Structure 1
């Protein structure tokens, strides 16, 4: 594909997807590189330069925006941009010369559009076309309104569900906060009771340890001196040992 567009006489077998409209008027076969929707002309680089000098305000689309080329003219091929000239009866398709050459060469019946169009303006089918279009447009309008109303309803439902979810989340959070507060209060009370119990046990153990140390020390000093005093001391020591066992060593 030549960027500048090469010139060939129309009789050439070279087929372009889009041919330059101005060159075709001069019986030349040149590949188009641009399209002007205002003029509905396909232009090669040379013709685009001339066109730009005369129509400075026209917006021209290049090959990089080729998706914008088609669909501007009712009698032009959407695929190739050429005049629609034939109808493939096998495929029921409108065709330009490029369509016929590329896609319909083996088709059994190709009709010339001017022949098919003779007297068509007077047919009932053509005369009823505006009413048929209006009927479809009315159905499309109703369908559009129905879909828009459904979309609005869907949006309202979505927003209502979001509100419900957030309210439920707030309620759950409030329940969890209350549960946490009560649980912490109970744990604080249990912890306080346990710490007091441990403190009391430590104090008792310390007191018993001191008492036993004092008693055994006194008992050892009076041993073999006074049997009665030693016996009394022994009995008291045994009593303290039993008390210590009950109070401190129960666990």
Structure 2
């Protein structure tokens, strides 16, 4: 059995909410595949969206800004978040992580006296962890229909990978097909009912190989890396502008205080009005810049995570996860380009 030299740990960034940066609670997935706490997503929809966007019938993803429509548009906005699908895989991994305070070891090996052999797989149905050898020799011979999760941090190849394919929400069948026309993964029933007339329908394995052969995965990872570097520069620029803004505010307020000491009591009312407007202006500008900064940081962190996860998925030969991460990476690259263009416009306006 292949060893990686240490007990495997879960990819913790996959279990964190991009908004609160804490462990995901009731993880909800949007159509762009980004996942958030139900409460964080609900707060974002009802309170954080600015101006006209707050009254719209759709909203942008907090990370990649792709426009997302609610599952049930007739529901009030404070109910939108709870109707998005729960990410079952993330939920299962969180459940496993919360029950395990330390490294995960193979249960069958422990019964044989080997107490520290790292586990690479978790069977939710049996609620047991296995190393690669015990999974093949013990688990797969008896529980061939289990959805078993790869919890390894070693980046190895998952044996019997087709048994771990996610199931279709509508038909409870394994997703083994990919429609390039609609950019969707589907089960046999989905393909037969909805994609019979599509021109480009292949198995997930074939599409995975196509992505590798055409270097599209490498191109996506390269674009994620380059755009992450650009976003990092924007974040640093925002930090500098925020510092200057605070300094300018202090200077401006001190000037107002000095002026107040020089003017007659008859100007007190006028002075107070000017001060309030100035503070409100700085406050509004600071809020806008901090909001833009948070957006940049979310997108940057998500692109780093997508890039890391896609590299790991390719190393593991994980077809489904690779395709999903490829789609997510494409959305993030496009959102990053749009965000950079928008930020440049804002900087240009401020300079003039």
State the TM bucket, normalised to the shorter chain.
Answer: 0.3 to 0.5
Select the structure of larger CA radius of gyration. 1
Question: What is the TM-score normalised by the length of structure 2?
Answer: 0.26
